[in-house]
Amino acid sequence: MRSCKHATELMSQQYDRSLKRPERLWLATHLMMCYHCRRCHKQFSLLEQSCQARREQMEQSPKGKQDD
């Protein structure tokens, strides 16, 4: 499953850098065909949303006081 491993690497890298056009196209095509990678991509997205919500929550709370 080399292609799934490559897809997972690209999914992870897209949060650190902008993927090049061929990479984006390859990943989009792979996601259309692979149910397991679509699920993985959804999990990456949910994790990113959760992290973003936590960052926003931290920015809104008073300095030095963190909710746990």
The predicted-structure confidence for 1-58, as pLDDT tens digits, reads as follows: 679 999 999 999 998 999 999 999 999 999 999 999 999 999 999 999 999 999 888 8
Domain presence at residue 63:
no
Q: Is residue 33 part of a domain?
A: yes
- Structural domains counted in the chain: 1
Structural domain contains residue 23:
yes
66 in any annotated domain: no
For residue 11, give its domain range.
2-57
Residues 6+ apart with CB under 8 A from 30: 3, 4, 6, 7, 37
Residue 35 lies in a domain: yes
Residue type, 37: C
**pTM metric for this prediction:** 0.72
CB atoms within 10 A of CB 5: 10
Give the pLDDT score at 40: 95
Q: At what angle do helices 21-33 and 35-60 cross, to 10 degrees?
A: 120
64 located within any domain: no
